[in-house]
Amino acid sequence: MNRRTALLLLGSTALAACAPPPPALGPDGKPLPKIYRISGSEARRVPFRALDAVNALRQGAGAPPLSLDSKLSAAAATHSRDMSVQNRPWHFGSDGSSPIDRAQRVGFDGRLLGETISETYETELETVAAWLQEPGPRRVLLDPNGRRMGFAFYQESNGKIWYTLNVGT
């Protein structure tokens, strides 16, 4: 091997070492999700980012803005944790409760218009965007009768996040 070939080989090896590793692929051939870890200080901001995103969408649809409601958020927090315990995203609690039951239990005095849920590794903004693509969640997010929103999440140690968003009058 001559000197020029050796330098070329060494240089290409050095360049290859600088390239980022390819993403890990799942069995479906798609990149595995990157874990979105929500720190304690970040957790307080998450509901407000979700509210801002939903209100931007509502403004574009001509619907009035929502305000965060602590009671609807409490009902959402209970359900997010319960979905994790059940290990399935669905609207009924392990005790058989419905979204309306949970809103009533926390003393919500309005009418619950709907609930959206998610089991994901995505951010709250990616989750709101995904909800917008589905007819049922889209109706809940953009319901013109909505005035209040509850939002909560529960993150498991493996990074999976269970989101619940409630909209009420």
Three-state SS for 41? helix
> In this structure, is residue 20 part of a structural domain?
no
Number of domains in the chain: 1
Residue numbers of the domain that contains 110: 40-168
> In this structure, is residue 32 part of a structural domain?
no
What is the pairing mode between strands 148-155 and 112-120?
unpaired
> In this structure, is residue 21 part of a structural domain?
no
In tens digits, the chain (169 residues) has pLDDT values of: 566 665 555 555 554 555 566 667 777 887 766 778 888 889 999 999 999 999 999 999 999 999 999 999 999 999 999 999 999 999 999 999 999 999 999 999 999 999 999 999 899 999 999 999 999 999 999 999 999 999 999 999 999 999 999 999 9
> In this structure, is residue 33 part of a structural domain?
no
- Distance between CA 78 and CA 64 in Å, rounded? 27
> In this structure, is residue 118 part of a structural domain?
yes
Rg (CA), the chain: 22
Three-state SS for 102? helix
pTM beyond cutoff 0.85: no
Inter-residue contact 156 to 36 (CB < 8 Å): no
Q: What is the CATH number of the domain that holds 59?
A: 3.40.33.10
> In this structure, is residue 2 part of a structural domain?
no
> In this structure, is residue 57 part of a structural domain?
yes
Report the candidate in 140, 161, 165 with the shortest Cα–Cα distance to residue 50: 165
